[in-house]
Structure 1
């Protein structure tokens, strides 16, 4: 008794069952009996393609077509493989050859459409997908393909209609669901986009593009903390994925003011803080820092030998990154990052601080020295969080000023008429009060010698507002557009930081209050300048 020789149906059954070696053996047996068996050649080509031998597969498809040239499936298989290999122009020829034999095959129209899209011919691709749908209107993948083409053509409303049709036909069609979510996001339908992305992730939680898309949507909805959580989850899964890396940086950079980077690159500032901490810290010191930011000052305190450092940061995104930075530098056991306002900190065995601090360091200073509510925050810390006699860094500040002519900056401070247009409504976007000026780079003319404007003592309670009149002699002719000012920070009795520094790394630069009406001045004139401060800022005006 002999074994029954295999037939084509046996080979097809084995192929569909995933038994590729068995299917290949059956095909070779058929071809041994009949080398011209086109169906066996075609199936053997499919097996070669599935097992990673595309060149052999193309040869076999060519032989099958040479034997039987009127079978459109042979051309479709050849075209599909060419398309996978990035040879879209050859794929187009193969698909068109199949359609020349039988133009009622929707899969051939669809494959032709995808080849045409790749070749940069979306209008022709649209026609191919519509031809497929004319034959089989209930094909969800064709609605999806057509929708992606319409999206490329800028016809977003039509695209949405076909994505939704694909999902009506196949609710679990994740590619269509993801494409719809992306389209909704593009169209600004953010709440719907969020729902769509979450549905994709319910079915495929590790699908990185959907995680990235959801993070973008949440950021656009002003839900930055949630966007961070989503992109961090994606980062855990794919830390080196370029899309994750780019989106994470985009979300973080939009959520945090841009001055944090130049601030940590301000070597003069860094040196002043570090030198004063070295002088104040002992091995038994408990250090409190307000305004963690990057965490660099807190780590300086730990490096100086502090037993424990508690640093607070109300921005949860900054606090997260600072905590990671502290851990990366090996200080996690000594530096505790607390995501709170300093006025919310508790003291005690179960509190944020085990006891009141021995050393109190703050970095609340901004371009104009006095940041909003800074004096109140410092007073609260001195009263509730720092031991009597504790070191306070910085301990004082002196503000200096100078009359300045600067026509270029004055044109947009305030915003008024630009190139003949009334642009005054745009002035609402200008920073309130003073503006930053770089006396090392911005064109200006000094109209007076520098003069001392205000003094601050951070070791004691100061009134939350005050003013001082100063008679300032004009030293040069010009138009006084305002008062430029800067400050010295007295970190302790010996260490002083000068914001007047003309170094490029000085991130604070200088500040300037622009006068409501510029004043023409001559040498020998005297202007009465009123230097004011309140709980929000320092400002200058004309008195007398």
Structure 2
């Protein structure tokens, strides 16, 4: 049998899904011709499909490309392996080379779009998905992914069309149902979101994230007992799932927004917002605020000279209180409180036009509040003028190793006075805890380090993570990492939550380690720090 006959037989087996037979055929080709590029490529691809690690077969794909660098398929396979390894820039370069060699394969354009989306190059990703559909109109995954890109750009109405169309063509497309559910949720179409998340679970009961999202929908509709039962069942089934654990803890710890009172007493915070607004607002400007709260910041904007202030508050009770406060201060004719999520606001209905100045106070003790990044993205894309001033403009998060023996005793709750009180830990707020480094028994045992940077004026990824090295500077016991933030209001004003004043309502946050770690000066730690749509996190601390 000739090499060509063996090659064609292997390709035929591959097309019929007989992977073992195809692999054996390609290996016979290589036995006679060790440098046969096509056989090298397919042996590596089949190995990956049968469970080999992507880095274990990447070298074989590279060798095939050295032998024949003009095969678009080789570059696409290399890109897929790099993408699986999280090497997104290199993956994008390989996919780009593939489409340069052959631009009529929609799947490769779709792959390139996925890599660019991970790199937060959203406009380029959108163009790739559109090109994928131009050459392969029936590529449903590209329709879904185009919806993801449009959502990231704040084009919610167009994203909605994409997700619905993907489901129309492929009713069992789990990812499209989930994406549609998330979008419905952002649009405050909670019942519709609930339907989509239930459909996700029906299609795949092991889809962890759908359980957490469905619980959030139930909670928001006042079905708290049903949400709690769902989360308890899901937690029992997926005990190691961080999102479900977080949602369960949040359900236990949900309380009324009592923080509004200390917040309005935070003089440094108030002054920072006031100074920034006085510099940003010009006479007659339209100002948009997200998160009315007490109405204080909206009134500051009016005092700074705004012709009109539109501010939104999703909680009806807080919106009513804000209206009463604004009326009491004689500003009702200039300030409008809209009881909606910001993603529901419409220019021409809720806003007379796009706003000149945008101010928000979505910050929590750990700086990043749930869904803050997509909310800001939507506002920039759909509610603001291109040159609108944004307050705050940016933020920097800092951290440090801490020794905090008293706080560590209850983070998490374990044994107290000789008794096991660990069931009480369910009531502890999930994630990080608020601490006061000026008052609590806390000792820094490393130099502060810069953990994360955010620019609220630009497109940002909805999640990110990085590894940092932290060095202990003194002996002690590392109980966790304290972190705080600088809010860069504008070019002149910076508010720091590191402030030691008693009226600093944010104070600082801390993420405690599962177990304390004894340290000596010079001990080095690798710390994974990052964020998602819910919170900032620190984890993976090792010596």
Deviation at 1:527, TM superposition (A): 1.0
> Does residue 1:365 correspond to 2:356, yes or no?
no
> How far 1:378 sits from its partner (Å)?
0.6
1-side partners of 2:404 and 2:329: how far apart?
45
Provide the residue aligned with 1:446 in structure 2.
Answer: 444
Mapped contact 1:358–1:387 kept (Cα < 8 A) = yes
Runs of 4+ with deviation above 6 angstroms: none
Q: Which residue of 1 aligns with 2:459?
A: 461
Distance 2:493 2:287 in 1: 19
Structure 1 residues 256 and 323: CA distance shift in structure 2, 3 A: farther
1:541 counterpart residue number: 539
> Secondary structure, in 3 states, of the residue corresponding to 2:375?
helix
- Name the SS for the 1:379 alignment partner: helix
Shift of 1:388: 0.6
- Give distance in 1, aligned partners of 2:478 and 2:335: 49
TM-score of the superposed pair, with normalisation by structure 2: 0.53
Q: What secondary structure sits across from 2:395 in the alignment?
A: strand
- Distance, in Å, in 1 between the alignment partners of 2:398 and 2:379 is 27
Of the three residues 362, 366, 391, the one matched with 1:393 is 391
Identify which of 375, 381, 384 aligns with 1:383: 381
> 1: distance between equivalents of 2:532 and 2:429?
17
Say if 2:330 is the partner of 1:306.
no
Alpha-carbon distance in 2 for matches of 1:333, 1:342: 21
Aligned equivalent of 1:88: none
> Following the alignment from structure 1 to structure 2, what is the Cα–Cα distance between the partners of residues 447 and 470?
16
1:515 has 2:513 as partner: yes
Find the counterpart in structure 2 of residue 121 from structure 1.
Answer: none
What pairs with 1:241-260 in structure 2 (closer than 5 Å)?
Answer: 256-260=256-260
Preserved contact between residue 491 and residue 497 of structure 1 (Cα < 8 Å): yes
* 2:334 counterpart of 1:316: no
CA distance in 1, matches of 2:255, 2:345: 24
Cα distance, 1:514 vs. partner?
0.5
For 2:417 and 2:255, the matched residues in 1 are separated by 34
Q: Structure 1 length as normaliser, TM-score?
A: 0.53
Which residue is equivalent to 2:481?
483
Q: What is the rounded CA distance, in whole Å, between the counterparts of 2:377 and 2:422 in structure 1? A: 39
Partner of 1:187: none
Q: Counterparts of 1:523 and 1:306 in 2: how far apart (Å)? A: 54
- 1:492 lines up with 2:494 in the alignment: no
Q: Deviations over 1:339-361 (max 9, x none)?
A: 1111111111xx01011111000
Separation in 2 of the partners of 1:412 and 1:543? 20
Partner in structure 2 of residue 297 of structure 1 = 297
Q: Which has the larger radius of gyration?
A: 1
Q: Deviations over 1:305-334 (max 9, x none)?
A: 000000000010110010010011011010
Of 414, 417, 420, which residue of structure 2 is paired with 1:416? 414
**Other-structure match for 1:335:** 335
1:542 Cα deviation after fit: 3.1
Looking at structure 2, the residues matched to 262 and 354 of structure 1 have their Cα atoms a distance apart, in angstroms, of 33
RMSD of aligned Cα (Å): 1.5
Residue from 515, 522, 527 that aligns with 1:529 = 527
Give 3-state SS (helix, strand or coil) of 2:366's partner: coil
Q: Is the 8 A contact 1:436 1:509 kept in 2?
A: yes
Deviations 1:26-84 (A, max 9, x none): xxxxxxxxxxxxxxxxxxxxxxxxxxxxxxxxxxxxxxxxxxxxxxxxxxxxxxxxxxx
Matched position secondary structure for 1:333: coil
Q: In structure 1, list runs of 5 or more residues that go unmatched.
A: 1-221, 224-253
SS at match of 1:398: strand
Secondary structure (helix, strand or coil) at the match of 1:278 reads helix
Q: Tell me the equivalent position of 1:286.
A: 286
